[in-house]
Amino acid sequence: MIEILRQHIVGRLGNDLDNLDTVLNCFKTVTIDRNQFLVQEGEVCKYVYFIVKGCLQVFVYDDEMNETTRDIVIEGTWCSELISFGSGKPATENIRTVEHSELLAIDRQGFQKMMETVPQFNKVYKQILETSYANSVYRINTFVALSALDRIKWLMEFRPKLMTRVSSKLIASYLGINKDVFSRLKAKL
Amino acid sequence: MIEILRQHIVGRLGNDLDNLDTVLNCFKTVTIDRNQFLVQEGEVCKYVYFIVKGCLQVFVYDDEMNETTRDIVIEGTWCSELISFGSGKPATENIRTVEHSELLAIDRQGFQKMMETVPQFNKVYKQILETSYANSVYRINTFVALSALDRIKWLMEFRPKLMTRVSSKLIASYLGINKDVFSRLKAKL
DNA sequence: ATAAAACATAGACTTTTGTCATCATTCAAC
DNA sequence: GTTGAATGATGACAAAAGTCTATGTTTTAT
């Protein structure tokens, strides 16, 4: 399982990393069922997760307990409530498994150690943060002005796997449209 | 003008900063008319701006040249196309003055120097990035599921000054709703 | 294997949002 | 200050999105 992460890191930072194994030992394996919370609003997010296998939903509740999904994340990527993880303040979002998942988790202490051990890792937090920020900006700029139909077309173009992998309900909450509307419009494509 | 920035910095990083004046000298004063572009999509964003006075619009164009505004920023805050500034890659957003504005601009070189000169400034870029990210996350979570009316109520609660300060057209593009709809709904409140 | 729960689709209907045309008003450039 | 352009409000209508109900299907837990 750690091998997947090794490949991910080597693919990004190159093959000439000293102490990579030391770093990889900072991660602990998490095997977890579907529909389990990894982070809950109001609690501090203690880990950054690397998804080896599975799928996570990052979302908030509105006052009627409807879910709005900010992101759906699958294997091969990082996931965390970064602001909470970095600051130690309570999280403002929830993270839950959508499927049975296999994760690698690193806590703050391990993260620190990682940055001290492998110099190149100094940039990892910054990189994750920058990527997350860029994604958010993109999502705002893309979605705010799009119609429901165009949002669905966007999904099919840029995240086609999600269409078949996760429930319509989840996708609808990600796209910010009603699930019935999603079902109707999808049929017309 | 520099005094405003000095107060902003002292208010955040404390009063015991060595070499603060050296740092402040890295900024250059920019006085600029309304409707002038500071950053254009496709060009590299070379500066981070501190807004001493005035108002900036951060936005993108869709394929019909309609504007979608991601942020409206006023005096006392930082503004830049951070991803481009940090990476040197072309900007994906435009930044334009909404009013005649007075800005303090620092380029990458100055930014580097700033970080070397005043140790605490090492965290400034990270702080700006984290704040920007948090704002984006908040905006996604807040807006995606809100109706046009609720978006207007949100604006009146959290950014009331904008309502009287900038044009309805601009606000509507920020809220992601049609300007006529904005006008109608506003009248009903 | 089975029962219960969750999910997906569809139709009828309501509400919200968008579009367009018009007119009065405000604002900015000269 | 005057004038032309941009802005803002409003009514009539069209289109899009949301709600609710019903029904059949798929999943999940046991």
CB within 8 Å: A92 and B141: yes
Does residue B164 have a pLDDT over 80? Answer: yes
Test A137 with B62 for CB contact under 8 angstroms.
Answer: no
For chain A, give the number of residues.
189
pLDDT tens digits, chain A, 189 residues: what are they? 888 999 998 888 888 777 888 888 899 999 999 999 999 999 999 999 999 999 999 999 988 888 999 999 999 999 999 999 999 999 999 999 999 999 999 999 999 888 888 878 777 788 889 999 999 999 999 998 899 999 999 999 999 999 999 999 999 999 999 999 999 999 988
Return the amino acid letter for A68. Answer: T
Report which of B18, B85, B22 is spatially closest to residue B49, judged by C-alpha positions.
B85
Tell me the per-residue pLDDT of B2-59, one tens digit each, with 9 for 90 and over.
889 999 988 888 787 778 888 888 999 999 999 999 999 999 999 999 999 999 999 9
Q: What order do you get walking across the sheet with B67-74 strand by strand?
A: B37-39, B94-97, B55-61, B67-74
Distances from the Cα of B118 to the Cα of A176, B78, B113, angstroms: 44, 19, 9
Structure confidence at residue A177 (pLDDT): 95
Q: What pLDDT score does A18 carry?
A: 77
Residue A186 three-state SS: helix
Of B68, B129, B134, the CB nearest to A145: B68
Q: What is the pLDDT of residue B20?
A: 83
- Give the closest of B132, B145, B176 to A133, CB-based: B132
Report which residue is nearest nucleotide D27 when distances run from CA to C1': A167
For the structural domain made of A2-141, what CATH number should be given?
2.60.120.10
The Cα–Cα gap between B184 and B180 comes to 6
Contacts of A155 (CB under 8 A, 6+ apart): A162, A163, A171, A174, A175
Find chain A residues with C-beta within 8 A of B90's C-beta. Answer: none
**Could B145 and A176 be called an inter-chain contact, meaning their C-beta atoms sit closer than 8 Å?**
yes
The letter for the amino acid at A183 is: S
* Every domain of chain A and the residues it spans: 2-141, 146-189
CATH superfamily of B1-124: Jelly Rolls (2.60.120.10)
- Assess contact for B49 and B5: CB atoms under 8 A: no
- Name residues whose C-beta falls within 8 Å of residue B18's C-beta, 6 or more positions apart in sequence: B118
